[in-house]
Chain A
Amino acid sequence: KNQVEQSPQSLIILEGKNCTLQCNYTVSPFSNLRWYKQDTGRGPVSLTIMTFSENTKSNGRYTATLDADTKQSSLHITASQLSDSASYICVVSAGVPTDSWGKLQFGAGTQVVVTP
């Protein structure tokens, strides 16, 4: 069973509207949670990284939240643009700071399509 579950699998939104993507995880021990944007035919690009003690982090029109108690994260996109059309991937890092190697667990992604 995948330790990182994302929802919805896909969504279509009108340009200018907001949307929120969800990520639930069971990875333990938790080190940090990352959101990546992956354009079609490209590699993932980092949007935000949050540690256990951080509740929210923003990167322009992208705002990520983290509830480490419930093991949930969300990514909110404000005033969507056509260039936001992409797959958004939630990635959770397992491990403790003393580990020489922290393993990443990838969600399957949410495919976002922004229409004019």
Chain B
Amino acid sequence: NAGVTQTPKFRILKIGQSMTLQCTQDMNHNYMYWYRQDPGMGLKLIYYSVGAGITDKGEVPNGYNVSRSTTEDFPLRLELAAPSQTSVYFCASSYDSAGRSNYGYTFGSGTRLTVV
């Protein structure tokens, strides 16, 4: 099925460990995003990309890194996991930018990360 695929679905990390959250889309979307969702809060943008080779920081980028070597893949890297990074992470993609487009975002099913 076409869409955004995230792996893993669940992960428990120890403080200081690192990991990569994988995200891939097969809709040939130029725009891709990483969000985190904390209880009772709206989604917050971590990083985004407007095309292969181009990435930029969102609202809450500290502690994370991204790369965009292909149109399809947009992995999110946590280098030194901290308890504050316990959250649900969503990857999304869109055909055009949010401001110009009437197209909706397509979200992945999320990765639930716990840092202990």
The residues of A with any CB-CB pair to B shorter than 8 Å are 2, 4, 31-32, 34, 36, 41-46, 49, 51, 89, 93-109
The residues of B with any CB-CB pair to A shorter than 8 Å are 4, 35, 40-45, 48, 50, 56, 90, 92, 97-105, 107-110
B111 CB, min distance to chain A CBs, angstroms: 10
Query: Does B90 contact A96, Cβ atoms closer than 8 Å?
Result: no
Query: Does B102 contact A51, Cβ atoms closer than 8 Å?
Result: yes
Query: Does A32 contact B102, Cβ atoms closer than 8 Å?
Result: yes
Give 19 A-B contacts (CB < 8 Å), ordered by A residue. A31-B100, A41-B109, A42-B110, A43-B92, A44-B105, A46-B104, A49-B102, A93-B99, A97-B99, A98-B100, A101-B98, A102-B98, A102-B100, A103-B99, A104-B43, A104-B98, A105-B42, A106-B42, A107-B42
Roughly how many angstroms separate A99 CA and B98 CA in the complex, as a whole number?
A: 9
Query: Does A46 contact B42, Cβ atoms closer than 8 Å?
Result: no
Query: Does A99 contact B104, Cβ atoms closer than 8 Å?
Result: no
